[in-house]
Amino acid sequence: MEPNSGPDTGSNHRRVSVVQLICRAYGLSDASEITMEHIHRFVAERRRAEERMPPLRDRFRPGIPRPRASGDAA
């Protein structure tokens, strides 16, 4: 089973669509209110958030040694 990477990662494991995320982010009642400006702003904000995440992920990731290949010397 694939891990859920959306905001609803608690005990309620249901998928959230991009449309739902945009509506929630900007307080829109449904998809008919979404404009190109909303989409561009949402994508730009997600990109900025993703650019900040790799350093945080690396900082909190434990250094687990990789298993040796069968030909490696001990």
Q: pLDDT tens digits for the chain (74 residues)?
A: 344 455 545 555 678 899 999 999 999 999 999 999 999 999 999 998 888 776 666 666 666 777 777 766 65
How many distinct structural domains can be found in the chain? 1
Residue 42 in any domain: the answer is yes
74 located within any domain: no
Q: Is residue 32 domain-resident?
A: yes
22 neighbors 28 (Cβ within 8 angstroms): yes
In a domain, residue 10? The reply is yes
Q: Which domain holds residue 33?
A: 1-51
pTM score: 0.52
Q: Assess if residue 46 is contained within a domain.
A: yes
Nearest-angstrom CA–CA distance, 44 and 46: 5
Residue 60 lies in a domain: no
Q: What share of the chain is helix, strand, coil (3-state, %, to 5)?
A: 50, 0, 50
